[in-house]
């Protein structure tokens, strides 16, 4: 619920609660007021969870980056020093990460 909608709900529910004679008996204003109170109680928990998720995502990014840096260094070493050491198939498999496909706008003749 956006800020404008929340303001609308709060003001309307207060007005309904203050004027029970205008509201049909089957409209449970008290329940709606309890819902708003529960929403207020829930919000601090949501803020804390969002912070925690942000930190977890930062950690995920840092860990992935560290692994990639080391892997790139290792791949460069394998390319430079691994020739003739029986690692050619592995190097070819790893090189797929860096293969580029021809652009869709290029014609097959231009790519050749």
Check whether 103 has a pLDDT greater than 80. no
Q: Which residue has the tokens 């929403």?
A: 39
Counting every residue, how long is the chain? 112
pLDDT band at 102; cut points 50, 70, 90: low
The pLDDT value given to residue 75 = 84
Q: What is the pTM of this model?
A: 0.62
* More confident call, 94 vs 20: 20
pLDDT of 112 > 60? The answer is no
Between these two residues, 98 and 24, which has the higher pLDDT value?
24
Report residue 98's pLDDT band, with 50, 70 and 90 as the boundaries: confident
Q: List pLDDT tens digits, range 9-56.
A: 999 999 999 999 999 999 999 999 999 999 999 999 999 999 999 999
- Residues 62 and 43 sit within 8 Å (Cβ to Cβ): no
Residue 77: closest CA among 61, 94, 64: 94
- Rounded to the nearest 10 degrees, the angle between the axes of helix 29-81 and helix 88-95 is 140
Provide the CB-side half-sphere exposure for 73 (13 A, CA).
Answer: 6
Rg (CA), the chain: 31
Q: For 71, left (φ over 0), alpha (ψ -120 to 50), or beta?
A: alpha
Q: In a 3-state reduction of DSSP, which class is residue 102?
A: coil
């Amino acid at each position: 619920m956006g800020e404008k909608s929340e303001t609308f709900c709060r003001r309307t529910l207060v007005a309904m609660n203050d004027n029970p004679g205008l509201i049909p008996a089957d409209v449970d204003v008290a329940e709606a007021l309890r819902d708003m109170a529960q929403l207020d109680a829930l919000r601090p928990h949501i803020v804390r969870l969002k912070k925690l998720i942000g930190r977890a995502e930062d950690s995920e990014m840092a860990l992935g980056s560290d692994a990639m840096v080391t892997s790139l260094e290792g791949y460069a070493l394998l390319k430079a020093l691994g020739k003739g050491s029986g690692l050619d198939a592995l190097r070819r498999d790893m090189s797929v990460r860096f293969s580029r496909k021809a652009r869709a706008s290029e014609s097959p003749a231009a790519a050749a």
